[in-house]
A = this chain, B = another copy of it.
Amino acid sequence: MTPYVQLEQEFRRLHAFRGALAVLRWDAAVTMPRASADVRGDQLAALETECHALLSSPRLTRLIERAEASRQGLADWQQANLREMRRERDHAIATPPSLVARLARETARAEALWLDARERNDFSVLAPQLDEVVKLTRNRAAMLGQHLGLDPYDALADEFTPGLRSREITELFATLSRRLPTLVNEALDRQLEGPAITVEGRFTPARQRALCVEVMRAVGFPFDRGRFDEAGRAFTEGVPGDIRVTTRFDPRDPFSGLLGALHETGQALYDLGLPKEWRDQPVGQDRGMALEESQSLLLEMIIGRSREFVAYLRPLLLKHYGVDGPGWSEENLYRRLNTVVRGPIRMDADELTYQAHIIVRYELEQRLLSGELPVRNLPEAWNELMDRRLGICPASDNDGCLQDIHWAQGSFGYFPSYGIGAVVAAQLWEGLREEQVGVSQEIIRGEFGSVIGWLRENVHALGAKMEVPDLVKHATGKPLHAGPYLRYLERKYLLDG
């Protein structure tokens, strides 16, 4: 057996373990008895340890080196697979076990203190511990960077947007920051001319679920190879071949459950469209967080809140909710789903203002990691930047730098992938519409075959074969750029779709 074939065997095992982990996590969130978390914790830890041991074993490194030495004999998918194997191995061994353990301990403490700080609405409760986490993460980023041959921040971001560097991200976000503030102003002015009527009522989980299932079926979610459940939050879990989507139903909100389900269905369809013959290999996995997010946003934001989709959706709302009246007109539903609100909280932000929240975090986390911004000064820096980028001054720490748990968890380099995902989604959408001219009419009829088919062929089926920038270029013929995203927003919010 060649070293490469032996590697495929090892990664097949890894894939099976990760699939088991996915089921255990899904179960913990959806079906596990309330008090069984301790037992589950042991199971997750044992499997994660096993995965790490597999990736960091000297044998695996030897096999990778030997396979790389005879790389020229491999087909291009195999070469890409080998590249991804090395990436996984590099990420796994770059951080020494002692630092992994310290990070686990300190982030666990930081998470607890984050909760305390939230309760007291006081960042200073968290600050010293967050400082610890930032220092450890700085070490981790430096070591990871050395292994990957990247700048420290790029090394962290590489996990979420493989192949995209902060130089490009910064440029992209700079372009957005030049246009978005005025665009938000213009959209808000325009919105005053025709505000949405609020719709009220009680929408039972059972009805919301039936609506979701009908829409998900139309979009192509395969219920024989996936599940759809209610949970405390919307998420996607599982492996291709067994994909599980959840959403949260708020009985007072007829839309949030459906939009959450659409968001997750976007990711699920991505996973289900990954190349089957590479299913259990690194190259057969999704291309990271930013690409996943692009698939989610394309379905939830771009399609799911379009005039065409609203035309398709309205009869379903009437049928499942038994509602009618002016609040449920196509025009009002469209306005309702696309209302712009300048607010301090990222999770509540609409499509148009969301990007500013991301850019603020991106700028701040780089300054935190470089040491330029001391952790204790974060609240002022946060508020100042929120004002500059969005014209918002958070009234308190909870509305400001305490709103997200990510940094306390040691998660740096993750936030930009949300923003990149939105930009990628718009660029894919533009490319898709150039080739599939009939999609508008199809969506009105509740047909999504052309949309999903195009995505499958140009994105999903590529798995992790290319780096993010190459994949976008391959799919759309153009390098990743902000043009389509800004054009999409301008058309929608200034020209009304």
Using a CB–CB cutoff of 8 Å, the interface residues on chain A facing chain B are 12-13, 15-17, 19-20, 23-24, 27, 31-36, 38-40, 42-43, 45-47, 50, 222-227, 239-242, 280
By a CB distance below 8 angstroms, the chain B residues around A36 are 225, 241-242
**Cβ A34 vs Cβ B227 within 8 A:** no
A35 and B225 contacting across the interface, CB-CB below 8 Å = yes
Picked from B13, B17, B242, B280, the residue with its CB within 8 Å of the CB of A32 is B242
Q: Is the CB of A31 within 8 A of B31?
A: yes
A20 and B43 contact, CB distance less than 8 A: yes
Q: How far is the CA of A46 from the CA of B10 in the complex (A)?
A: 11
| Residues on B with beta carbons closer than 8 Å to the beta carbon of A46 | 12-13, 16-17, 20
CA–CA, A35 to B43, complex, Å?
26
Q: Is the CB of A223 within 8 A of B19?
A: no
> Which residues of chain B come closer than 8 Å to A50, judged between CB atoms?
50
How many Å from the CB of A265 to the closest CB on chain B? 15
Q: Is the CB of A227 within 8 A of B33?
A: yes
Taking CB atoms, residues of chain B closer than 8 Å to A280 are 42
Most buried by B among A47, A224, A242: A242
Chain B's nearest CB lies how many Å from the CB of A474? 28
Query: Which residue from B23, B32, B239 sits with its C-beta under 8 Å from A24?
Result: B23
Between A and B, 6 residue pairs with Cβ closer than 8 Å are A27-B31, A33-B225, A33-B226, A39-B240, A39-B242, A40-B242
Contact assessment for A34 and B224 in the assembled complex, using a CB-CB cutoff below 8 Å? yes
Greatest chain B CB density within 10 A among A23, A225, A226, A280 is at A23
Q: Do B13 and A242 touch (CB < 8 A)?
A: no
Q: Report how far A242 CA is from B39 CA in the complex, Å.
A: 7
Given known pairs A36-B225, A241-B36, the reply for A43 and B31 (CB within 8 Å) is no
Query: How far is it, in angstroms, between the C-alpha of A240 and the C-alpha of B39 when the chains are bound?
Result: 8
Chain B residues whose C-beta falls within 8 Å of the C-beta of A242 in the assembled complex: 32-33, 36, 39-40
Within the complex, the shortest CB–CB distance from A226 to chain B, in Å, comes to: 6
